[in-house]
Amino acid sequence: MHCSMFTAEREQLKTLSGTPFSPSGLFAAMLANSGAWELGHSLIINMMKRVRSDEMANRADV
């Protein structure tokens, strides 16, 4: 089961890897193509920033 927060990003990463989604499939796709690397990197960084922002907001609410 996955968090629904990143459904769109997960679908993009799945499309990028061209295989059933897995870290190793994504990694292989990103290493094979610089465009895939840039897209994967951007998606992952943006997801991490959203998680961090939400964590900070939750801490401020406590």
Read off the pTM.
Answer: 0.74
φ and ψ of 19, to 5 deg: -140, 170
CA distances from 30 to 21, 26, 46, 58 (A): 13, 6, 16, 33
| pLDDT on residue 42 | 93
Domain count, the chain: 1
Task: State the residue range of the domain holding 24.
Answer: 4-61
pLDDT in tens, 3-62: 788 889 888 888 888 887 788 888 898 899 899 899 989 999 999 999 999 999 988 877
